[in-house]
């Protein structure tokens, strides 16, 4: 008999992606270890925009309310032209209401806070991140995988059923698995970024010098962390220059030259090099990749962390189900569903970056605001409209209902006719189960034990799901529509779930 507490999954990398996956697995009772080679947790901010779909994932994982406490209030961004004149003041990251989406805009919370609330959640499931553990290699066989991890003064072989590399763009897991990272490096596009203290600059707005040589120079106050976030283009020729406050001050002086503004006390500083790369497969046997380890792209639209969190959320329930005895082929649907998303994100961030860069300051302001208001010509950065239509896990029974299998299941209020209570559909979805929504009076089909069945009445729910007479919608544990139709028979749900059956 297998030990229920044994490590089933080892996760390499405790960034936002590894932590999301660890939380999702741990809440399903999967024995998980998560290691990171860093000696201490990140204190600085990289990603700030937690987009709409990611907020929904975080609500399901139980961290959204906590994260909100660390979010900056929506503020004004001030755009300047090349001569330093103000051309626009815009409020960004806010978005008009979207039916069925409780969080259409972005939550502006520093990545260090996102990671901290996920770690807290993970701790509530009894799992702690193991710092100072560097993954160096693995071997796998028919039963499992053994990860070699070097801790200070000792080496450990961690045995698990699966290994997931969430170890960022330079992923050792990816390299050791022999998975290619195909694409290009834009050698001439580099930027200095980090967090520091700024004196002498109006801290009631974010400042963006959007026109000028090399791209955007920005400084945004972050009252919740008591520092400023900055980005500055580095000269296209060069490399190896010192990463320092003085280097940033020099670029600022040359580019902006505002007297009386000074910089000090960096929280962290780094150089970002634009790479557009992705893997040609997400899995090698018992080893899988997620997040930056699988795809990197330009920052325009802030998609990196958000895309990686969605990878983890797509993978979590599948991995847990396979560990409970479902066929391994379920794991193939992870790549099937997420690889096209990565490709789409690479294409659209490149196009968006060029679109922004080709404009004057006033146009950049309008285009950036448009992007975050859902009017981007390339894609929807909120992630709300991403879908898995055409996936082998999406089955449309007929056209008798408006929603499509593979789409994100929208939120709505309605009445659960079984209890007579007013319900919010996202509350019904929350957790680790499948949810079967029935609309109308047709008899319920046979459903499995991990399917929660609710018969829903009410105009809003009918409208959001495009119900005419009646309808059936089976919602996956990650909130996407598995099966949909206006009519069904007794076996419709059981037949769908049979190939995913657990032991
Ligand atoms: C300036 C900037 C702004 C950004 N803004 C946004 C934004 O607004 N929105 C957005 O969505 N994204 C944004 N991003 C991108 C985002 O930061 C990344 O996509 C995100 O951090 C990826 O998360 P991850 O967990 O995949 O990898 P990472 O955050 O890179 O985490 C990987 C972890 O793995 C660990 N690790 C690496 N190798 C090993 C090893 N061999 N053994 C053990 N541990 C290891 C590392 O220590 C690290 O903790 C931004 C990035 C930058 C640079």
Q: What is the pLDDT of residues 168-178, one digit of tens each?
A: 999 999 999 99
Q: Which atom of ligand 1 is nearest to the CA of 133?
A: 43
Of 17, 24, 29, 13, the closest CA to residue 130 belongs to 13
Q: What residues does ligand 1 touch, defined as CB less than 6 Å away?
A: 12-18, 35-38, 46-49, 111, 134-135, 166-168, 172, 193, 272, 291-293, 299, 302-306, 308
| Contact between residue 47 and residue 299 where contact means Cβ atoms under 8 Å apart | no
Q: Which atom of ligand 1 is nearest to the CA of 13?
A: 34
Backbone angles phi, psi at 22, to 5 degrees: -60, -45
| Residue 199 CB neighbours (<10 A) | 10
- The pLDDT mean for the chain works out to 95
Rounded to an integer, what is the distance from CA 294 to the centroid of its chain?
13
Exposure string over 407-444, b if 16+ CB within 10 A, otherwise e:
bbbbbbbbbbeeeeeebebbebbeeebbbbbbbbebee
What pLDDT, on the 0 to 100 scale, is given for residue 1?
47
**Closest CA to ligand 1's atom 29:** 15
Of 288, 32, 35, 289, the closest CA to residue 154 belongs to 35
**Closest CA to ligand 1's atom 53:** 46
| pLDDT tens-digit readout, 300-342 | 999 999 999 999 999 999 999 999 999 999 999 999 999 999 9
**Closest CA to ligand 1's atom 52:** 46
Distance CA 299, CA 177 (A): 27
Query: Residue 221 has which token pair?
Result: 């106050």
CA–centroid distance, residue 78 to ligand 1 (Å): 28
What pLDDT, on the 0 to 100 scale, is given for residue 3?
64
Query: Residue 190 has which token pair?
Result: 């580099």
Distance CA 126, CA 311 (A): 23
Backbone angles phi, psi at 337, to 5 degrees: -90, -35
What pLDDT, on the 0 to 100 scale, is given for residue 188?
79
| pLDDT tens-digit readout, 148-174 | 999 999 999 999 999 999 999 999 999
What pLDDT, on the 0 to 100 scale, is given for residue 157?
98
List the CATH code of the domain at 9-71+103-182+276-357: 3.50.50.60
In terms of DSSP bridges, do strands 227-233 and 181-199 run parallel, antiparallel, or are they unpaired?
A: antiparallel
Distance CA 168, CA 245 (A): 26
Rounded to an integer, what is the distance from CA 33 to the centroid of its chain?
21
Distance CA 56, CA 70 (A): 17
CA–centroid distance, residue 255 to ligand 1 (Å): 29
List the CATH code of the domain at 395-500: 3.40.30.120
| pLDDT tens-digit readout, 81-124 | 989 999 999 999 889 999 999 999 999 999 999 999 999 999 99
Rounded to an integer, what is the distance from CA 145 to the centroid of its chain?
26
| Residue 248 CB neighbours (<10 A) | 23
CA–centroid distance, residue 180 to ligand 1 (Å): 19
Which segments of the chain have a pLDDT < 70?
1-5, 238
**Closest CA to ligand 1's atom 4:** 47
What pLDDT, on the 0 to 100 scale, is given for residue 367?
93
CA–centroid distance, residue 146 to ligand 1 (Å): 24
Spans of all domains in the chain: 9-71+103-182+276-357, 395-500
**Closest CA to ligand 1's atom 20:** 305
Distance CA 373, CA 94 (A): 6
CA–centroid distance, residue 468 to ligand 1 (Å): 45
What pLDDT, on the 0 to 100 scale, is given for residue 189?
83
Residue with tokens 């448009």: 370
| Contact between residue 3 and residue 73 where contact means Cβ atoms under 8 Å apart | no
CA–centroid distance, residue 227 to ligand 1 (Å): 20
Residue with tokens 């000090």: 264
H/E element holding 360?
Answer: none
H/E element holding 462?
Answer: helix 459-464
CA–centroid distance, residue 15 to ligand 1 (Å): 6
């Amino acid at each position: 008999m297998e030990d229920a507490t044994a490590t089933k999954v080892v996760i390499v990398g405790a960034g936002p992606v590894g932590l999301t996956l660890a939380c999702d697995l741990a809440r399903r009772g999967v024995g998980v270890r998560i290691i990171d080679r860093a000696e201490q947790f990140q204190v600085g901010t990289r990603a700030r925009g937690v987009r709409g779909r990611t907020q929904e994932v975080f609500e399901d994982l139980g961290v959204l309310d906590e994260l909100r406490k660390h979010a900056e209030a929506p503020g004004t961004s001030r755009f300047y032209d090349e001569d330093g004149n103000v051309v626009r003041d815009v409020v960004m990251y806010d978005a008009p209401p979207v039916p069925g989406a409780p969080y259409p805009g972005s939550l502006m919370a520093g990545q260090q806070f996102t990671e901290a609330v996920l770690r807290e959640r993970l701790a509530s499931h009894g799992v702690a991140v193991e710092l100072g553990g560097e993954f160096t290699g693995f071997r796998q066989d028919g039963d499992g995988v053994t990860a070699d991890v070097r801790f200070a003064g000792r080496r450990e072989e961690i045995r698990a059923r699966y290994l997931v590399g969430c170890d960022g763009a330079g992923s050792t897991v990816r390299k050791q698995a022999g998975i290619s990272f195909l694409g290009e490096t834009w050698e001439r596009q580099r930027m200095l970024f980090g967090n520091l203290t700024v004196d002498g600059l109006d801290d009631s707005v974010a400042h963006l010098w959007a026109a000028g040589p090399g791209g955007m120079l920005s400084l945004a106050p972050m009252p919740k962390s008591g520092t400023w976030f900055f980005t500055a283009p580095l000269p296209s020729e060069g490399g190896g220059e010192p990463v320092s406050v003085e280097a940033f001050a020099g670029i600022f002086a040359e580019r902006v030259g505002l007297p009386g503004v000074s910089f000090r006390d960096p929280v962290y500083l780094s150089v970002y090099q634009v790479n557009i790369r992705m893997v040609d497969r997400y899995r090698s046997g018992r080893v899988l990749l997620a997040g930056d380890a699988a795809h990197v792209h330009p920052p325009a639209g802030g998609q990196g962390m958000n895309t990686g969190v969605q990878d983890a959320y797509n993978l979590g329930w599948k991995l847990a189900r396979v560990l409970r005895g479902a066929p391994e082929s379920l794991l193939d649907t992870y790549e099937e569903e997420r690889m096209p998303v990565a490709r789409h994100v690479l294409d659209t961030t490149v196009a968006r970056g060029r679109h922004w860069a080709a404009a004057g300051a006033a146009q950049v302001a309008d285009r950036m605001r448009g992007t975050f208001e859902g009017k981007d010509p390339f894609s929807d950065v909120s992630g709300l409209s991403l879908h898995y239509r055409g996936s082998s896990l999406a089955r449309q029974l007929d056209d008798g209902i408006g929603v499509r299998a593979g789409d994100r299941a929208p939120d709505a209020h309605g009445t659960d006719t079984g209890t007579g209570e007013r319900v919010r559909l996202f509350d019904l979805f929350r957790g680790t189960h499948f949810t079967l929504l029935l609309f109308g009076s047709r008899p319920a089909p046979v459903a499995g034990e991990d399917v929660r069945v609710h018969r829903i009445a009410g105009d809003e729910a009918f409208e959001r799901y495009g119900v005419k007479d009646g309808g059936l919608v089976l919602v996956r544990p990650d909130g996407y529509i598995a099966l949909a139709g206006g009519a069904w028979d007794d076996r419709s749900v059981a037949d769908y779930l049979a190939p995913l059956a657990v032991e």
